[in-house]
Amino acid sequence: MYGRLPILKMLAATVAMTAAISAVMLSINWDGQEASTAAPKIDGLLNVMIVLSSLIFSLVVVMLFYALWKFKAKPGDESDGEPIHGNTRLEVAWTMIPTIIVLFCAGYSWKILHDIEKPAKDPMTVDVFSQQYAWSFGYPGKGDVWSQGEMHVPLDRQIQFKMHSQDVIHSFWVPQWRIKKDNVPGITTTAIVTPDKLGTYELICTELCGFGHASMRAKVVVEEPADFRKWVASLEEKVPQPYKESILQDTNTNPLPENEGGA
Amino acid sequence: MVAAIKRPGWIRGALGAVLGAAFGFGLVVALRKASGLPAFQTEQTGYPQVVVPLISGPLGFLLGFGCFDYWLRWAVGMPTIPEDHSQHGAKSWKDYFRFNTDHKVIGIQYICTTFFFFFIGGLMAMLIRAELAQPGTQIVDAGTYNSLFSTHAVLMIFVFVIPVFAGIANYVLPLMIGAPDMAFPRLNALSFWMLPIAGLLFVGSFLAPGGAFDAGWTGYAPLSTGAPLGQSFFNLGVQFAGASSIATALNFLVTIITMRAPGMTFWRMPLLVWANLSTSLLVVAATPFIAGAQFMVLFDRALHTNFFQFAGGGDVISYQHIFWFYSHPAVYIMMLPGFGIISEVISTHSRKPIFGYRLMALALIGIVVLSYSVWAHHMFVAGMFSWLRVPMMITTLLIAVPTGIKIFSWLGTLYFGKIHTYSTSMLFALAFIVTFTIGGISGVMLGMVPFDIHVSDTYFIVAHIHFVLFGGSVFTIFAGIYHWFPKMTGRMYDEKLGRVHFWGTLVGTWGTFIPMHWIGMDGMPRRVADYAAQFGDWNLLISCFAFFLGAVQLVFLYNMVVSWRFGPKAEANPWRAKSIEWLVSSPPPIFNFDEIPRVVGGPYEFGVPGARHAIMAGEGAEVEAPTPSVVGS
């Protein structure tokens, strides 16, 4: 009975629509500026998803509108359609093909996740302290100097952010880096970022933390290593004692991926 | 007067509420006095003198209103009052405001109550969009804004989407399976009357010192454990909504399993029945988890139990695990009944059997099973054990498969059918397929950990949730309301106004929620009263579409109210459907059937010569033996 359907034409329409939607959507930079090594990988994943999503969407739309055009009842027609109860081969197809597609998506995502979280040999650690409604930053490798509301990091060096919240949950997000991680009271969480573009960015709190949530922002500066060293040297304050204690009290229940393979 | 106090009803209910609240209040004050504490405690998380009456007052109301009368007499050994069906069915509008055990009355009580809260929640959405129309804060301050979006979400989820499906199913499901009522009519009535209590607690929290709860509908600890008194209103409202939900699900399960008409095998059940069976399986097992989570928060607040206090040895992230172990299945609780409605509407209006009926039913069960194994995809950036992200990602993506089966099977149903689009329900059903596909696609994208890391807690999430819950669930709710409106009211609604409502809702939904994807990916976080100026233009556009979407719902309200009162009389089966509810009058007689119908075939045998789904009383003789078919065998 499916011989009666113009399968090839419908497929052609689906492919054409997929190509048109993908062409438009791929030409737009959805996620904004890329400023870390993770960003192009995540945006690449988005692009693959744009093509796959356009395909699924186009298939549904073509199937729906062809049916509406071809099988719409004429006015006054009170007869029933054909008593087709199903088609096992078709049903197996639309179970198996999506399964393969989503398993591909899962495998591809897993690989990218592995790539963007791979620890480097000589990462720099930055302690991130969050509290209602302010950010501050400690540099444990640089004599524990402390900066409030402004963080500088060197270009092209992997940074491991160790996050410590003093009160409720906050979340660390620099959109241009594409990396986000909650700051959870009582535990230390980790995020890995390798900034690869000079510039000034905004650190945004993305976990609801109270009435000041929308204004809980900090300035992030990515600069040349020499400038960074100068900036760190200019910092006079040390990380306050209560913050140091909060690091020691944290349980490390969110270790780096490579440390938990045998766990 | 004495008689009015002795009789179950509003007067005794009000008295019960006052006495219950006074008892709770007195208990707290007396115990505190006896312990040498000051009578009142007004730390922001405490207020036991308010929290305890918030439990005992509603219970007193339910007791006074008559929800427990029959059981109490039985429990204490008093002679029970013989059932004279005086609490069954509605003769005038007043009967809808009583403790009523008729599933049809309860169904309408549910639907009207939930739509009441839908419009209140919708007004809050309008306020939210008014505030967000421009950067900066103009209309409400940041704290009130947090209360508004929290209450908006909670009303829509707990006292609109979840219970309105229970309401539609309450009305339709017993008719559909040929049962005279639900299995436990008194429990059914109790379930309903707990619902307005939940809604009033949510809305009433605006009166609490410190304002309404403002930690989001997710109520993450420790923000919620330290929040002002309004949070306790939320904790308790969830208990009433949850208990209502669990009792109803239990009722549906027993009804579906034991009360199907003779001949209705599992494979002859309409898909709406399958959908409610699946949903109820989710509700009974998952809902206790959110009830537990909210009790733990309440205990942390009032009794200093330290479940989620890191300084007291508690674990912050465990709240999220317990919460999402309910709240992810909850999104399927809010979707599966809608799937059932869409199957009924599409099959009826394309005059075709459902394509792949058995796979459709199995897909529902597949979703039930998988949905218990995906909860931590809400926590990819939460700092949970990192490796857990990968298995949760795989199960999350796999759940798209049974959902895809449903989409393709609905499309398959249309082919070689005779598609009628005159009814608003079919328009909503067809639009649902496309809109829900978008929500499904963004759901798959969110399931992929690296992309989720970027867009988690941004407007992309807001866009996704509204595409699946508004473009998905609410579209199916509208489809269901329009589809069964003639059956429920005995009147036809105005299709012209229905079409205005449909097209307005479709344009409003896409206009409001599509751009939210874009600003989310571009860096706008969610749950903020103020945002960067670069998103100003998009937000203004979104707000305009949102106001339009809100205004169009008034057309729906007008259509429903006026048609219910003045619409032309509906015949028994205006859509020429096959399932049993259409074989009785509109509205159905008080006990549904003079004699239980006999089911002789599948529910969607359109176009099969001589096929019948059910044979009603008195017409058995002239019907020949049914033609065997693929489905109904």
What is the mean pLDDT for each group of 10 consecutive residues in chain B (633 residues)?
82 96 96 91 85 96 93 91 84 91 96 97 97 92 94 97 97 96 96 97 94 94 92 96 97 97 95 97 95 95 91 91 94 96 97 96 96 94 91 96 96 95 96 96 96 96 96 96 96 97 97 97 95 94 97 97 96 94 93 92 92 82 48 41
pLDDT of A63 higher than 70: yes
Burial class (CB in 10 A: 0-12, 13-18, 19+), A215: middle
Measured between CB atoms, which of B353, B411, B453 is closest to A178?
A: B453
Instruction: Output the six-digit token pair for A58.
Output: 């186009």
Question: Distances from the Cα of A253 to the Cαs of A241, B386, B485, in angstroms?
Answer: 23, 9, 54
> What is the pLDDT, as a whole number, of residue B312?
85
pLDDT in tens, A179-195: 999 999 999 999 999 99
Q: How confident is the model at residue A254 (pLDDT cuts 50, 70, 90)?
A: low
> What is the pLDDT, as a whole number, of residue B406?
96
> What is the pLDDT, as a whole number, of residue A256?
53
Chain A residues touching residue B143 (CB < 8 angstroms)? 211
Closest-CA distance of chain A to residue B445, Å: 7
Interface of B with A in 374-403 (CB under 8 A): 381-387, 389-390, 393-394, 397-398, 400-401
| Cα(B154)–Cα(B233) distance, integer angstroms | 12
Best mutation target among B454, B467, B506 (most A Cβ atoms within 10 Å) is B454
DSSP state of A83: -
DSSP state of A253: -
Interface of B with A in 72-131 (CB under 8 A): none
Whether B100-333 and B335-568 share one fold: the answer is: yes
Amino acid at B43: E
Q: Under an 8 A CB cutoff, do A106 and B311 touch?
A: no
Q: How confident is the model at residue A4 (pLDDT cuts 50, 70, 90)?
A: confident
pLDDT in tens, A211-231: 999 999 999 999 999 999 999
Listed by start position, the domains of chain B span 2-76, 100-333, 335-568, 571-633
Interface of B with A in 404-433 (CB under 8 A): 404-405, 407-409, 411-412, 414-421, 430, 433
**Residue B311 contacts A where some CB pair is shorter than 8 Å:** yes
Position of tokens 């599933």? B103
Amino acid at B214: D
For helices B142-156 and B185-204, what crossing angle results, to 10°? Answer: 170
Which one, of A37, A163, A183, A52, lies nearest residue A112 by Cα? Answer: A37
Using a pLDDT cut of 90, give the percent of chain B over it: 86
Residue ranges of alpha helices (H) inside B259-270 are none
Q: Under an 8 A CB cutoff, do B215 and A102 touch?
A: no
Q: Under an 8 A CB cutoff, do B416 and A81 touch?
A: yes
Q: Considering the domain B100-333 in this protein, what is its CATH number? A: 1.20.210.10
Q: Under an 8 A CB cutoff, do B414 and A68 touch?
A: yes
Instruction: Compute the mean pLDDT over every residue in chain B, rounded to the nearest whole number.
Output: 93
Q: How confident is the model at residue A68 (pLDDT cuts 50, 70, 90)?
A: very high
Chain B residues touching residue A183 (CB < 8 angstroms)? 383
Considering the entire predicted model, what is its pTM?
A: 0.94
> What is the pLDDT, as a whole number, of residue A250?
74
Chain A residues touching residue B456 (CB < 8 angstroms)? 180, 206
> What is the pLDDT, as a whole number, of residue B631?
45
Mean pLDDT computed over A63-68: 96
Whether the CB-CB separation of B172 and B111 falls below 8 Å is answered with no
- Total number of residues shown for chain A: 263
Question: Distances from the Cα of B356 to the Cαs of A68, B273, B422, B431, B608, in angstroms?
Answer: 20, 16, 25, 21, 16
> What is the pLDDT, as a whole number, of residue A259?
46
**By CA distance, what is B455's nearest residue in A?**
A178
Q: Under an 8 A CB cutoff, do B411 and A67 touch?
A: yes
Measured between CB atoms, which of A117, A182, A213 is closest to B382?
A: A182
Q: Under an 8 A CB cutoff, do B454 and A110 touch?
A: no
Measured between CB atoms, which of B142, B415, B521 is closest to A30?
A: B521
Q: Considering the domain B335-568 in this protein, what is its CATH number? A: 1.20.210.10
Measured between CB atoms, which of A83, A173, A214 is closest to B528?
A: A214
Which residues, at least 6 apart from B421, have a Cβ–Cβ distance to it below 8 Å? A68, A72, B349, B427, B430
Mean pLDDT computed over A14-26: 96
Measured between CB atoms, which of A73, A167, A181 is closest to B418?
A: A73
Whether the CB-CB separation of A155 and A80 falls below 8 Å is answered with no
**Residue B448 contacts A where some CB pair is shorter than 8 Å:** yes
Q: Under an 8 A CB cutoff, do B607 and A80 touch?
A: yes
